[in-house]
Amino acid sequence: MTADAARLYRHALEVLRENDQGTYTVPTKGLYPFQWNWDSCLTALGQVHYDEARAWTEIETLFAHQWPDGMLPHIVFHVHSDGYFPGPSVWDTGRPIATSGITQPPVAGFAVRRLFERSADREAAVRRARALLARIDAWHRWFYQMRDPHNEGLVAILHPWESGRDNSIDWDEAFERVPTEGIAPYSRRDTQHADPAHRPTKAQYDRYLWLVQHFRSLGWDNRRLHDASPFQVVDPGFNAILIRSATDLAALAEELGEAEIARANRARAAAGIAALETLWSDRHGQYLCRDRTTGELIDSASIGGILPVFAAIPQERCREVARTIERWAHKVAFVVPSHDPLDPRFEAKRYWRAPVWLVMNYMIADGLRAAAETAVADAIVQSSLDLITRSGFAEYYDPLTGEPCGGGRFTWTAAMVIEFLEAA
């Protein structure tokens, strides 16, 4: 490792350690003071390089708060903090330890298989992976039961926060149908910690909250939420993560002798890969979201439609997506922007409407490498490390200037840096 790389590595460790709360890690102090679902799973991939036991604990803590129906909530409110909105009283999910009532991209199956492969203590890895297998499988089953009621092979998100890409341009049109009447007065906290110009708008927050209130009025009963939601979107990126996790869980289950879990997850992944094809757009050279309430594809070329390379999509699709990334790369200084830079709706600094996120880069590069698109994968990793060197461990980055945006000293950004440096 060069001296520069060693310095970055040390800095990444510092960020991870300062956000570590003992049994879980906060995404960053101030802006996000609790445990977030997919942040934690990806954080564990950084932790495993310096403390294997701690990495397993990160994911176990999250699963200790799984709902009885199988859902893994997107936030666990372990402690009291006034610094975040909406807090536990707004969600009011009635869980013994407060959680939110929606979920997040199901990256756990992928993360646990990777932890298992990286763990030197084999006895502990087998024991801890075995204990998580059934829980992750229950979460996957929950998705297909609750979010794919017509057996399409693809699941819907019911709230933009579930996608993790909160204010993506993908949701704009569908969000117009979400009303705002009757929302309780509220005061945002995120804009006290981060530049409001980097965050979602008030109009978007009103709708986020309307959906929360609506689901709360239905008692968070997942058997009712799908059909009752005016927002139902099939996101190719979200589904690709689920498919990849199902594939990885199947492989892990096979290795641990859990044949039924392996079979069920292999079947889910195969159905998902076949169904993803219905989201393909020749015009954009990538996948698009489908609005399930209208049945129409959404004309918005975002990173959600690039992310399917993370799953085992056909080789020619992967090739076409790699060419799309190369086209985008000519328009920006840093890849991968979270939206097509030629789209007039592209907003370079605003959260998921253009900025670069290292977790996305990590998953996309991983998929491209597996498909032998090595040059594009290498360029994405290099761009990621250039961003860190230039702008530190930010939440996300302006793809035109590399400027750091959102929160600072971000845990999963640091975890991804460790992964990139370890693989170099």
Residues 311-370 that bind ligand DGY (CB under 6 A): none
Rounded distance between C-alpha atoms, residue 308 and residue 212, angstroms: 28
Is residue 395 annotated as a catalytic residue, yes or no? yes
Is residue 144 a contact residue for ligand DGY (CB under 6 A)? no
Is residue 161 a contact residue for ligand DGY (CB under 6 A)? yes
Q: Which of 340, 395, 398, 419 is catalytic?
A: 395
User: Considering the complex, what minimum distance in angstroms separates the CB of residue 383 from ligand DGY?
Assistant: 24
Rounded distance between C-alpha atoms, residue 408 and residue 392, angstroms: 8
Is residue 238 a contact residue for ligand DGY (CB under 6 A)? no
User: Considering the complex, what minimum distance in angstroms separates the CB of residue 328 from ligand DGY?
Assistant: 24
Our CB check for ligand DGY shows the closer of 190 and 419 to be: 190
Dig out the tokens for 238 from the structure: 């979200």
Is residue 14 annotated as a catalytic residue, yes or no? no
How long, in residues, is the chain?
Answer: 424
Our CB check for ligand DGY shows the closer of 161 and 210 to be: 161
Is residue 373 a contact residue for ligand DGY (CB under 6 A)? no
Q: In whole angstroms, what separates CA 247 from the centre of its chain? A: 17
Q: Give, in degrees to the nearest 5, the angle at Cα 171 between 212 and 318.
A: 125
Q: In whole angstroms, what separates CA 321 from the centre of its chain? A: 19
User: Considering the complex, what minimum distance in angstroms separates the CB of residue 35 from ligand DGY?
Assistant: 11
Burial class of residue 173 in the structure, from the number of CB atoms within 10 Å of its CB (0-12 exposed, 13-18 middle, 19+ buried):
middle
Is residue 190 a contact residue for ligand DGY (CB under 6 A)? yes
One DSSP character per residue, 215-250 reads: HHHTTT-HHHHHHH-S--EE-HHHHHHHHHHHHHHH
Q: Which of 39, 52, 166, 366 is catalytic?
A: 166
Is residue 166 a contact residue for ligand DGY (CB under 6 A)? yes
Is residue 162 a contact residue for ligand DGY (CB under 6 A)? no
User: Considering the complex, what minimum distance in angstroms separates the CB of residue 23 from ligand DGY?
Assistant: 20
User: Considering the complex, what minimum distance in angstroms separates the CB of residue 129 from ligand DGY?
Assistant: 27
Our CB check for ligand DGY shows the closer of 166 and 366 to be: 166
Our CB check for ligand DGY shows the closer of 166 and 347 to be: 166
- In the chain, the amino acid numbered 238 is F
User: Considering the complex, what minimum distance in angstroms separates the CB of residue 191 from ligand DGY?
Assistant: 11
Any idea which residue has 């693809």 for tokens?
154
The three-class DSSP label of residue 278 is helix
Crossing angle of helices 52-63/37-47, nearest 10°? Answer: 170
Which residues are paired to 337 by β-bridges?
356
User: Considering the complex, what minimum distance in angstroms separates the CB of residue 161 from ligand DGY?
Assistant: 4
User: Considering the complex, what minimum distance in angstroms separates the CB of residue 75 from ligand DGY?
Assistant: 6
Our CB check for ligand DGY shows the closer of 40 and 286 to be: 40
| Other C-beta atoms lying within 10 Å of the C-beta of residue 379 | 17
| Other C-beta atoms lying within 10 Å of the C-beta of residue 227 | 8
Count of residues touching ligand DGY (by CB under 6 A):
4
Rounded distance between C-alpha atoms, residue 124 and residue 126, angstroms: 6
Our CB check for ligand DGY shows the closer of 162 and 291 to be: 162
Residue-wise burial string across 284-296, b where 16 or more C-beta atoms lie within 10 A, e elsewhere:
bbbbbbbbbeeee
Q: Which residue is nearest to ligand DGY (CB)?
A: 161
Residue-wise burial string across 61-76, b where 16 or more C-beta atoms lie within 10 A, e elsewhere:
bbbebbbeebbbbbbb
Our CB check for ligand DGY shows the closer of 74 and 113 to be: 74
H or E segment to which residue 1 belongs:
none
Our CB check for ligand DGY shows the closer of 74 and 147 to be: 74
- In the chain, the amino acid numbered 310 is F
Site string for ligand DGY, 67-106 (x = CB under 6 A): -------x--------------------------------
Residues 5-64 that bind ligand DGY (CB under 6 A): none
Residues near ligand DGY (CB under 6 A): 74, 161, 166, 190
- Residues with a catalytic annotation lie at 166, 395
